Amino acid sequence: MRPLFFSILITGLLLVTGFSLPVHAVTSCNDIELTPLHVSIQEEKEGKSISFTLENEAEDPFEIDDVKVDESSPFFDLSVIDFPSEVDGESTGKIKLEYDSIDVNSDQDDSFQIRIKGKFDDDDSECSFSDLSFTIDVTVEDGEDACSLIEVEADNVSVSEGETITHTITLKNSSNEDFEIQGFNLFDDSSHFSANLEPKFTDSEFDKNLSGNANQSYSVEIDAQTVSNDETDSVFIEVRGEFEDGVDCSFSEIEGDFDVTIEDEGVDSGVCSDVTLDAPTITLHANKTTADSVTLTNKSAQNFFVDEFEIADKNYQIAFSALDVPDVVAFGEADGVSFEATGYSFSQSFDGNAFISMKGHFTSGSTCFVSAKKLPFHAIGSDSITCSEFYTNLPYVTVLKGSTSQDVYVHNPLAQPAIVAFTLSNGTVSPSILHVPADTAKTQTLYFTGVSESQTLTLAASISGCDSIVKQSTLLFSGLDDAPVQFVNPPTVLTIGSAKEFVLQLKNKSAFTQEAEIKIITKPGNQTYIQTIFIPGLDEPLIYLPTSVLMGKNTALIQVKSAGYIVTHTLQLANAQAIVVTPKVSDSPTIQNEYTVDVTIQNPTPQPVEGEVVVDVPDSWSVSGNTHINLAPYESITIPLKVKPDTVLSVPFTGGVYFSGSPHSSIGKTLSFKPAMGLAAGVTTAFVTGSSGLWLGLIVLLALIGIWYVAKPKTIVDTLTNPFKPPISDQEGEDEDEERGKKSDNEQEPWMNPPTSE
């Protein structure tokens, strides 16, 4: 019996000491968050960037192995262009994507997923793509570009020669979002004055935050030279930055300028205008150095001596340096100034400007300087080596509204020429071949003949050293107002549930009965359904169409052909209830306060599906287990998940679970978590809280001893309550127990009444 007692005692002591140990915060994939989860993008954009903030709430750094984006939208293409290799503990980093978007007739809502793979460097705990999957809701906006809401306002100004003035320019933010200024270029092409920001953009005093629906003023210091006649030149302003919802604006999207007139006051010295700098537009490459030169021309009647010459850039990915600067340029002569530009490691192509500054003097001693001559460049990213930089703006779907032609933009930034072939599935396209030289962009108008219905336009580019680049677009030829049969308020989104039919309303605008052919083309897959109807003159019938052709699809293109004309409508599909989710939650938590949730996912459709099982519980809870699944047609699987609340539940809690995937998702189901009961709740709480474990451990220990005290035979109780009795053997104890059973309850053993001294 004594070994059992000591076991209980040791267990209680372990509970006490174990609960009093400090608890170290364990890192988990739930410590990684991404914002924002809803963004707006503009229609008809090419190579537009958008940023997301990745927050590491853990104390340990998080190393990022890879980031990928999953989307199947007909409205935009997305790709990852930049992400940090590591995010420090309790810090943030930026993930940058690039998108191309098509023209939309109204705002369109869609979504995509950003998946992240990485690990914490404390214990190499890894997070897979399925552990870190964030769904981003997207609105493709029809109309005004967000970057156009940032405007540069600057008035023209006049300055007397030889004077220095301060001029004010204003940035105006007409949007509701705050805008962070990330770059501010100010330059002029004049040799008659210099213009500089005060304070400079790199100074801490420069205000880089432009609040929503607000203006911000900035000072420009203009230093005028002497002139022989009134001279007018321009100052150019470029701004880049990012809205708080992640939308980026490049230098080329926010621009402004103002004129500066230097007034001749009769000072006899103005020969600086006779010195000019001619700068070319150069092409640079990542991880390469490019050499070129600018031309310095002296048109005056005096020699010009170069005192200072510098080429500076404001982009960390490129470095410029002047190599061979002449000491003097003779009158009436020109000389070259050689320079080199080194491209560092960058993946995506971009355009930018470097700036030339020069100071010098003439034989007479009069001085001349140029403060910021623009040197434009085009930088080609390293991805071009893998051919991914080849670009065309060919959209997934193009509705040709009464037209039989289309403009296609093709950009070939590679070092090899491209041969682009165009073909049409049922008709003729002209021209059918387009030659795009190396590092060249072209816009080509394609003309279609022999077409009256939907067609597939295929672009195939052949480039030496690259796999064949193929892109396709569905062309929809629409007669619009010429068609006698039109849509009447068609829906833009249709949810496919259990109904076997959906309804469209058509209108025959003519006074005669019209034969109308209704064609439904579903994507992905280009499956087709055709139905022919007859509509009396001026009638507006309701047309019932089968939903079976829409199951498992993302988009339906509905064409109505009448009298040789075609009208087209795009319908976004939501197969909301295709996947069946059946969850089961354990009745109580483990001692670690974890609930087991078995989720059965059933795919009753003839298409395979892929997606995430999403458990809807508070953000402070943790969910572990493999939530990313792939299901074959008609397949069913059960996945075990562990759900751990941040505190021990004292009352029931109701959560949810659903499947988010492509091409099908599911409706949500309820998860019911029951609270821990009785002694188990106390033990569980002790394990979870840690900081109050000492007291809880003592309570548990005393409870165990109390239960044991009541349940044990009297011999053992007597041994604990009277330590004066000599120890006895196990056999003696059993004999005494038997003998004691024969005695009266009121009779006591002699050793319980020790003799007293006389």
Decide if 524 contacts 72 (C-beta within 8 A).
yes
Q: SS3 for 664?
A: coil
The residue among 386 and 36 whose pLDDT is bigger is 36
- Residue 133, CA distances (Å) to 1, 34, 485, 751 in order: 56, 9, 45, 75
Give me the pLDDT at residue 289, please.
85
Average pLDDT (547-560) is 79
Question: What does the DSSP assignment read for 87-153?
Answer: E-TTEEEEEEEEEEE---SS-EEEEEEEEEEEEETTT--EEEEEEEEEEEEEEEE-SS-GGGGEEEE
What gap in Å lies between CA 407 and CA 414, rounded to an integer? 22
Does the structure show a pLDDT above 60 at 40? yes
**Residue 82 φ/ψ, nearest 5 degrees:** -165, 145
Using pLDDT thresholds of 50, 70 and 90, give the confidence band for residue 680.
Answer: very low
Percent share of the chain, pLDDT over 90: 11
Decide if 178 contacts 212 (C-beta within 8 A).
yes
| Across 333-337, 641-645, 654-658, 750-754, least confident range | 750-754
- Residue 50, CA distances (Å) to 37, 53, 367, 397, 641 in order: 12, 11, 46, 23, 34
**What is the token pair recorded at 460?**
């195939």
What gap in Å lies between CA 645 and CA 651, rounded to an integer? 12
Residue type for 19, please? F
Does the structure show a pLDDT above 70 at 747? no
For 750, residues 6+ apart whose C-beta sits below 8 A from its C-beta are none
Give me the pLDDT at residue 12, please.
52
Whether the model clears a pTM of 0.75, i.e. scores above it, the answer is no
Give me the pLDDT at residue 645, please.
92
pLDDT tens readout for residues 490-523: 887 777 666 788 899 999 988 889 999 999 988 7
What gap in Å lies between CA 429 and CA 632, rounded to an integer? 40
- Residue 154, CA distances (Å) to 237, 238, 610 in order: 10, 12, 54
- Compute CA 250 distance to the chain's CA centroid, rounded to the nearest angstrom: 17
- Assign residue 529 a region: left if phi > 0, alpha if psi is -120 to 50, beta otherwise? beta
Using pLDDT thresholds of 50, 70 and 90, give the confidence band for residue 272.
Answer: low
Question: CA angle, corner 448, sides to 447 and 450, nearest 5?
Answer: 150
| Across 287-296, 365-374, 476-485, least confident range | 476-485
- Nearest residue to 555 (alpha-carbon basis) of 567, 530, 573, 539: 573
Using pLDDT thresholds of 50, 70 and 90, give the confidence band for residue 643.
Answer: very high
- Nearest residue to 188 (alpha-carbon basis) of 245, 236, 243: 236
Percent share of the chain, pLDDT over 70: 76
